[in-house]
Every structure is written in C-alpha cells, then in structure tokens.
A and B are shown apart, each in its own frame.
Chain A
Amino acid sequence: METAIRRPNWLSRLNAVWAPPAVLDFWLSRLNPLWSWGHARARVIELHPEADGVTTLVLRPNRHFRGFRPGQHVTVGVEIDGVRYTRSYSASDMPRADGRIRITVKTVEGGKVGAFLQTIPVGSVLSLGQAFGELCVPDEPAPCLMLAAGSGITPLLSLVNAQAAAGFRRPVRLAYWARTRAQLVQAEALRAFASRHPNFKVHFMLTGEASQAADELEGRIEPRHLTTLLSGDEQAHVLACGSYGFVERVREVLGDRCLSFRAEAFSPPPRVIDASDQGHVRVTLLKSGQTLDIPRNKSLLEALEEQGVKPRHGCRMGICNTCACGKSSGATRHLHDRSVQHEPTQALRLCIQAAQSDLSLEL
C-alpha cells in the first residue's frame, strides 16, 4: 500500500497560508481525537492480558496509516506526565481486512511505556508511525524454522498467523523460549495450529522450569536442540527474533546449517554506560552520514567542533536553544546537574550535554 507523495500545487500552498496543518489538526482533533490532516493515529479498542506482564492491544488506525507486512513493527507514541515517549512494537497478528493492528506489549524492568500500555484505558488515542522492518518468510517453498525468545515472539506470531491463513503451504517449525510456562504468549493458539496442520510444529523451550508436555523442551539454545529443530537432512530458512544476546547465540549455534538466516534483535548490542567521563564514544551524524569518535568529558558542541563539525550554536551556556538538535538514540549527561537522558528527543542542547554512550544525532 504505497501512496505517492503529492507535490504541493499553488492552490494547496495558498490554502496552507490561512489554514496551516497545525491549525487544521487542532480543529479536526476537537471533532474526533483520531482525526488528523496528515498524522497517523490509532485508537485502543481492545485490551487482552496474555501472560504475566504481557498485554495485547488492538488498535484501530486512522486513514493515514499505510498498513504493514507480517513481521514488521510500528512506532507507538504515548504521553506520560506531559512527556511524549515513543517505542516500537511488532504487530503480533497478520494484517486484517478491517485494518486493525494487534500489538503485544511486555513490561520490562523500569520501563515506562510498557507498564503504561498495560493499563491504558480502552478508547485512548495513540500516535502511530508507519510500519518498518525487514523480517519476512522467504518466497521459495523450503521449510522454515522460526526461533523466538521472550518478546521476540511477537513478529513471529504475525508471520505464523499469515502462514496459517495460507494453510501452511510449507513445513514451519517454531521454537519459543521463555523462562516459565506462565510467560508464554498465545501458547494455546499455537498448539491449536499444530494439532490442525501437519505442516506446523511448535516447541516451547523453558529455561526456568522442567518440561512436562511432549512439545516442551528445556534449556537455552544449544547444538543438541538442533537435532530436534532441524530434523532430517532438509535445509531450512531460519528466522530468529529475541534479545541481542539470543540472536548472537543462535547465529553461533547454527553455523552454516541453514539455507538462509534472518534475524532481528529487539535490544541493541549492550552499551557500556560508564558513569565517569573518561574515554570516547562513537557519534553518528544522521544528516551528513559521518561517524566520529568524540571524548565524553566535554560538551557535545565543543567535541564536535574539534572534529571539524560546525553545528548551529549561540550562547554556549544553555540559554538560547540555538544548538538544539534531534537525538534518535543514545544517552547524554547534562553538564550542570549530571543527570542522564536516555530517551530519544527532538531537542538536545549540544552546548550543555556531554555524550554518555554512543549517539545518533540529527546533524
């Protein structure tokens, strides 16, 4: 579902003079909080608790949402205490004819948004980004092995549902790791697929409990599991989704015993966050495409200037806001009160912030 971006003609430009999009959005949202001139938004229409600290939300997007493919994620924006936070979640079901999206949200320790979404009132409106992500089942009909750990199950659920809707035209095997049985999401639905379709098999891999049922196995991923998961001589396409550590471990265990390997880690590689201000970090400048190593012990503005980058700047003391720029990832430290900021932001003052971890800046 691609929409060509229309070039503004003189009429639409004239219209924007007396009715700018921000003004139109204000009046549209008075009529219906879901309506907007150009932004995708979604209403929460159902909430289903799935397992310990895991809830599925059914969202109904407005007409600006351009749909998704199974295995993709969407960015959801919520406002907590006046502050907008964004997180991406994989759709946990295949695309539906009614356009509704299902996302499955897990609370993580100390996480704000996950916990907020667990109890969000039905009827609330969220902001939505367009879907992205490359995880998908290859076209050719070889068997497919899916490996999920924890929240990594969500995009794979979407892919499994899509395969089920197509009647499992190829052998699909899913191995799903969780610490305990109570943390498994949609276990019954998966078992139901397995009992109905000879082409679909599911294995629940428990790391914190003993296995009981026939479709349960124990332990973290190890080479011995492969005899079950890659039974016979046939080669399979492998999809894996989980934490960074899980995905790396899968890659190691599999070696070259597969046709293709696609993986998605929902957590970035572990970042060393060191409270001291020694050493260097890597800064990616998204607009100019540069990557630089800069010291952590001085303001970002100073450090970037030393590397020959000249960001816009003014007072150099945090007053005038001229050097504010977007930060899409990474942690920074305020030079006056030493407070650390992890959230992505649209306005980071380079002159009074120092790098704390690797960063991506909109420069």
Chain B
Amino acid sequence: MSKIYSRALSPDELDRFGEELDALRARTLATLGQGDADYIRRIMAGVRWLGLGGRVMLMVGAILGGTVMPLLLWPLCILGTVLLGLSKILENMEVGHNVMHGQYDWMGDPALQGRSYEWDIVGTSDSWRKTHNYSHHTWTNVRGMDDDIGYGLLRIFPEQRWKPFYLMQPVVAVVFALLFEWGVALQDLRIGRWFAGKMKGRTLLKMTTPVAKKAGKQVLKDYLLFPLLAGPYFLPVLLGNVVANLIRNVWTYMIIFCGHFTADSEVFPKECVRNETRGHWYLRQLRGSSNLTGGRIMNLWSGNLSHQIEHHFYPDIPANRYAAMAVEVREICARYGQHYNTGSLPKQFGTVIWRILRHAFPSKPGPARPLIAAG
C-alpha cells in the first residue's frame, strides 16, 4: 500500500551523505551551551510542578469529595489524574529517555548523567539502556537484532514469519498498549526463551531480581504510599494513579509505534549490517524511522520523538535541537533522493493500526528495496 520514493545510493554517494550528516552533527555540537542546560532544567521543573499539582489535586479531590463537597470529587480527581499523567509523560520521554541517551552528559551535572539516571516507570533504567540505547539504536529495524520489532509479541512487518498466534494480534496490541510499561520492563528478560527451554530458570531468576525490585518500588509508591496519604479516601487516589499510568502507557506506545512501524518504514536483513559504513548506517536509520508533524506542542509531549529520524541520526544530541536540525536533514535527504517519512499523528498511527491488523493474517513481503545501488 505504500509508495516508496527512495532510490538506492552508490557507495560514493553514501559516503558523501554520511559526511554531510556528520558535518551537521559537528556544527550543532559546537553550539551546545547555557540554553540547552536551561531547557532541560525547565523541563525537569515542569515534571515536578505537574507531578505536585496532580498529586495535590487528587488528594484534595478525594478528601473534600469524600467529606464536605461530593460535587468536587470527579472534577478534581480527573484534573489531578491528567496532570499526574502529563508529568509522567514528560519525565519518561523528554527527561528519562533523552538523559539516558547521554544527551546532557556534557553538562557534568550528576542529576543528568546518562549512565546513572533512574526514571519514573516500572522498568529499570539499566535494562532500557541495554535494550533501547544499545540494541535498538545500533541495530534499528534489523530483524533478529532489534528486539523492538513487534517487541516479540506482534507481527508488524510481512518479513516476520506468520504464526496462528498472530490472529489474536488486534487484542494483544490493545492489552500491550495499556500495559506498555510492563512490557518494556520485561523485554530484556526474554521470558519466551525460558518457556522454549532455551534459558535456565536460575538465569531468569537472577535477571528478574533488579526488575522486581524496581517494579516493587513503583507499585509501592503509586499504589500504596501516595494513596495512603489520603487515609480513608484511599480509593480515588489509587484509581487516579492507575489511570495516570495508563494514560502515560498509551501515549508512549502511540509515539513509539509511530517512530518505526508506519507504512513506509522498512526492516532490514542481518546481512545488511555487515561492514556497514557510516553513510550506510545513516541511511538505514532514515529508512527505518518516521517523524510526526505537529509543531512545538507535539515536540514537547513526545520528548522530541516527533523527530524520530533526527533522534536516530543523533541520539546523543540534546533533543530540543532536533527541530532546527530537521530543516537541514530534510534538505539533505531531498538532495539524495530519499523519502523523509513524516505525517500527522492520526495519519501515521492510522498506518500503524493498519499494519497491526493486516499482518495478523499471512502476508508476503514486497519487492526488495536495496539501500546501495548494485555495481
């Protein structure tokens, strides 16, 4: 259903393509400074204020609503839940994800160090640094190497082998969206390998310990400690926390799926990365990623993953720079005859849903789309 306009590049062209993108990177790096530091601190403050606002609203709504003003229960609790959800979205996407890529390592601020930051989500930062920063970003959309392709649950690309299990995919996809943070938390454990008898129980147990600890902390915080602050009006606060986490889960799922599973994004065979050059790596990142339009609001609430292409080119450059870099990236892609995959959230997510539905059933891959011109 998709029309691909990208042409294969000759090895020479690929080298120049890579050099131009490297030059853009160097130009941007040279200008990092106070503005970027102020930006991430402003976002950090936004996370804290939204979080405080949300938790206070929930608490006040639950207590006032439960005692003197029952009319206030719903409005305040809904407002509190939304604010808390927004705080978690901002923390996970614009702070957690970006800081863990090392985007702010140059600042030397211990609170913003990529290798030690711990985020507000059930999965551990350590496992994310491995599955995401390493596996996914190095081997983007390479089958058998990038576990993010369908997260071991879904068949998104016709290149994945069909199994009857995938007939349930539309339901699985919805459940996965709601419980997304748990999916991400368990991703690195590869429980499937244990079911298949390829991993020892003891190995799995050892890997599970840190994950269980982190998840336990999150559950304790959101579903016990904060609700308990409201005393007998425990229930609305608990519900608010559950819903805030669900809002965050569904939103991040949408943004992440739009990043690599839209109609025009491609997957690559393992052979593709053998002796891969810098230019070839860039081209693979481009063909496997897709952007979202929507301006500054979309950039903020997606943690700048609305610029998934720029993020994959430059995962360690502060994300607030992607919008400006995108202008040049687009121009470079156009000159090399490469399709720059972008569109509105409804449009891009629509194609994601179509992929999920279509490939639940057996499907055949289209013709090969080589990255490098033969000869």
Contacts and interface: CB of A to CB of B under 8 A. Distances in A.
Interface of A: 14, 17-18, 22-23, 25-27, 79, 81-85, 314-315, 317-322, 324-325, 336-337, 343, 345-347, 349
A321 B105 contact: yes
Given A18-B221, A18-B226, A336-B22, A346 B113 contact: yes
A315 B115 contact: no
Contacts of B38: 82
A27 B47 CA distance: 12
B297 interface: no
Contact of A26 (B48, B113, B137, B281): B48
A83 B106 contact: yes
Contacts of A320: 129, 133-134, 137-138, 315
Contacts of A14: 220, 225
Contact of A322 (B33, B36, B130): B130
Give the secondary structure class of B's interface.
Answer: helix
Given A18-B226, A319-B138, A345-B108, A337 B36 contact: no
B130 A82 contact: no
Given A81-B34, A83-B106, A337 B26 contact: yes
Nearest to A318: B316
Given A83-B108, A84-B107, A347-B114, A314 B133 contact: yes
B113 A347 contact: yes
Interface string B1-42: 000000000000000000000100010000011111110000
Given A17-B217, A23-B48, A345-B105, 9 more contacts: A26-B44, A82-B35, A84-B108, A84-B109, A314-B133, A317-B281, A321-B101, A325-B115, A336-B22
Contact of A321 (B108, B220, B316): B316
B164 interface: no
Given A82-B38, A346-B110, A321 B221 contact: no
Contacts of A337: 26
A17 B220 contact: yes
Contacts of A17: 217, 220-221, 225
B102 interface: yes
B217 A321 contact: no
Contacts of A343: 108
B102 A324 contact: yes
A11 to B, nearest CB: 12
B205 interface: no
Contacts of A315: 134, 137-138
Nearest to B37: A82
B334 interface: no
Contacts of A325: 115
Given A17-B220, A315-B137, A321 B36 contact: no
B71 interface: no
Contact of B133 (A22, A26, A321): A321
A131 to B, nearest CB: 20
Contacts of B138: 314-315, 317, 319-320
A317 B137 CA distance: 11
21 contacts: A14-B220, A17-B217, A18-B221, A18-B226, A79-B37, A79-B109, A81-B33, A82-B36, A82-B37, A83-B108, A84-B108, A315-B134, A315-B138, A319-B316, A321-B114, A321-B133, A321-B316, A322-B130, A324-B115, A343-B108, A346-B105
B134 A314 contact: yes
A324 B26 CA distance: 20
Contacts of B32: 82
Contact of A85 (B26, B33, B108, B129): B108
Given A314-B138, A315-B137, A321 B129 contact: yes
A346 B44 contact: no
A349 B108 CA distance: 14
Interface in B36-75: 36-38, 44-45, 48
B168 to A, nearest CB: 34
Contacts of B204: none
Contacts of A318: 316
B235 interface: no
Nearest to A344: B108
Nearest to B22: A336
A347 B315 contact: no
Interface in B138-152: 138
Contact of A347 (B22, B115, B130): B115
B111 A22 contact: yes
Nearest to B220: A17
Given A23-B48, A79-B37, A82-B38, A321 B115 contact: yes
A151 B32 CA distance: 33
B260 to A, nearest CB: 16
Contacts of A22: 111
A322 B26 contact: no
Nearest to A82: B37
Given A22-B111, A85-B108, A347-B115, A322 B133 contact: yes
Given A315-B134, A324-B115, A27 B48 contact: yes
Given A23-B48, A27-B48, A319 B108 contact: no
Interface string B291-305: 000000000000000
Contact of B34 (A82, A322, A324, A345): A82
Nearest to B102: A321
A318 to B, nearest CB: 8
B26 to A, nearest CB: 6
B43 to A, nearest CB: 12
A324 B104 CA distance: 13
A120 to B, nearest CB: 15
